[in-house]
Structure 1
């Protein structure tokens, strides 16, 4: 076997003029991986390169693949993902992964962007204030999940009701209302955060349903899972697929 022409062409688009050291140290492995990830997988469906790269970045954050993220972020930028879009993926990850896991990715993103001559900070994308973030967050929940979310922020036992409040004003009011990404893109990356980190099956089913409700249909989600499989492996990919199927019941 050898690395296919299609795999080589895709690799060159991601990393122009870069020759991997693995060709010398691990030639058999890199031959099989490149042929799978950069030919068989990317040519399996019609998911566009920008969506694929956004999904991969979110997936790498979800599985804590910081080294691969630092490698793939320049490739994502080469495929047209904008600095604002990349930053918005990182910011939204805090709501689903926590700052403890996102902190290294924020540093890595800044380093990559600075190295490419991007001036920081980027143009602001906030659309809410301290006064209206709750109202805007509730509306975002309603837009994505339906009218049943209108009063969710004040539901639940008194001792834990504040968490549903925070879900509305912080997760949705602070992040989903920002510019840079639309609702479909935000729900796609949320799906990837949850699928990649594992252990979030109830939330993954819920967000699979939300994706499908706003236009990211089952076929689209299967494409996303397929394109991210090389980065998170089969168990979590199959688990994500099961959650998508459960959301359709």
Structure 2
């Protein structure tokens, strides 16, 4: 099957029989888009369609490309992701892109859910409370990054130690400990989020090692970053791949 047929098959699987509006005005551009995303990138590497759609959701959320995000919430449901998995992927963006942008994405997902008569709110996935969020968040950090966390906390200047506490209790305690997505998936999505942001190479390198520590091998990271390419462009993609190659050199 050539990439034209592959793209048609994949597009139908994700979006049904609809035709992109751009075909009425910019058919050449839409052809290039369809064949590259759905005829090539979707078939590269070792991720399944559920993982790919989770990555697409967080990349579109980070980019704030909301019309496309709304379409991919529907696609995510079509490939078998649950509403909880979709929401948790969007929530995972919160510590990296901020609350306002994350709320924008949540609103788009909610519109799709309401149209499909999916009852809201969804069942809570939180596993911590005010007394345990710091402790469990710190434990998640150690599981992902090891003793580096202790060194970071020790080295933080006195007037910035609150940032280390926020990382433990908020970023990791409030989000990484949630049910709905496992630790490997959350860490892979985080790598895609910060790669999409650009200018975060130091954090990308840290999360490359974090991904390796939780069981995502180099091939998985390359595939995930490749899947980001059509949505973030070559410069940020190549920067992220350079970080992967620096932290996990080729044999």
- Aligned residue runs from structure 1 range 207-226, under 5 A: 207-226=207-226
Q: 1:229 to 1:213 in 2, by over 3 A?
A: same
2:63 is aligned to 63
CA contact (8 A) 1:58 1:193 kept: yes
Deviations along 1:180-219, one digit per CA (max 9) or x if unpaired, are 0111000011011101111111111101110011111111
1:23 is aligned to 23
CA contact (8 A) 2:3 2:40 kept: no
- Aligned residue runs from structure 1 range 77-226, under 5 A: 77-150=77-150, 152-153=152-153, 155-226=155-226
SS in 2 for 1:81: coil
Q: How many residues align?
A: 248
| Runs (4+) off by over 4 Å | 150-155
2:43 is aligned to 43
User: Aligned partners of 1:27 and 1:140: how far apart in 2?
Assistant: 47
SS in 2 for 1:13: helix
- Aligned residue runs from structure 1 range 221-240, under 5 A: 221-240=221-240
User: Aligned partners of 1:3 and 1:139: how far apart in 2?
Assistant: 45
1:243 is aligned to 243
Aligned-residue offset at 1:76: 1.2
Structure 1 spans left out of the alignment, 5+ residues: none
Structure 2 spans left out of the alignment, 5+ residues: none
Root mean square deviation, CA, Å: 1.6
SS in 1 for 2:92: helix
CA contact (8 A) 1:201 1:243 kept: yes
CA contact (8 A) 2:204 2:243 kept: yes
CA contact (8 A) 2:55 2:228 kept: yes
* Farther off after superposition, 142-151 or 19-28: 142-151
Q: 1:16 to 1:132 in 2, by over 3 A?
A: same
SS in 1 for 2:38: helix
* TM-score (norm: length of structure 2): 0.94
Aligned-residue offset at 1:150: 4.5
CA contact (8 A) 1:62 1:192 kept: no
